[in-house]
Structure 1
Amino acid sequence: MGLIRAAMGAAGGVMADQWKEYFYCEAMPADLLATRGWKRQSGRSANTKGSDNIITNGSIVAVADGQCAMIVEQGKVVDICAEPGEYTYDTGSAPSLFSGDLSDSIGAVFQNIGKRFTFGGEAPMDQRIYYFNTKELVGNKYGTPSPVPFRVV
């Protein structure tokens, strides 16, 4: 029974992670150095069962003025974007039927299902987006301690 459950979990998880996401960070206050990026989800979204730490190929990462986005996979920095605007994420590690050539994507999705099956149906990777505040840190002078305690959320 465990094999059937793992197969169903792997197939269901991969299919739930097919949707492209939109990652963003709200305006960062002056005392915040870094925070995690979040998926935009509303009540209308069909993407309610996707994994929290999987970034699907073709997803959008929005970078505001005064911010830098860093994408981390398995603890390793895989990409950095410091220019304001929208960035399209595509590394091939989380294939989607909704991006790229359909015939190539179908094969990659089935490979992903097989990989997840060997991990009991769970995603065998961890991907996250962190945003860093690149605005001038007021009151931070060389050689003197800052009067403002900086936070990392």
Structure 2
Amino acid sequence: MILPDPQATLALGVRLAELVRPGDVITLSGSLGAGKTSIARGLLAALGLAGEAPSPSFAIVQPYAPPEVRIPVLHVDLYRIETPREIDELGIDEEAADGVLIVEWPERAPGFWPDALALALASEPDGGRRLTAHVPAAWKARWPF
């Protein structure tokens, strides 16, 4: 799928917000500036977050809970993580069990979320983004594309 501009990337996040359920994991891969955080921002805005969600690059884990959003969300950025052991120390799986877990840079934790909706973004020469999705069984009936 081609996302022609930043608005289309945000709109994908909005669409995902209509489909997520507690317990879902969405991983977002791609180079710096590919649109990972834009998808997360669209999803969070559609779940009710007022204002723009900050990138969790420095905090690593950015939690959102009702009434700020409709369902709990943990937005995680693993860019600065150096070993999978550091991820275990974050305790994000336990904390996200009742909500949605959004993970940027999941390649830093290979094999951690095998049942995730895995979205990969790549820049196109015209400035758009190419989206590739690995849709697990839990998402097959919900995936709209």
TM-score (norm 2): 0.26
Higher Rg? 1
Greater share of residues in helix: 2
TM-score (norm 1): 0.25
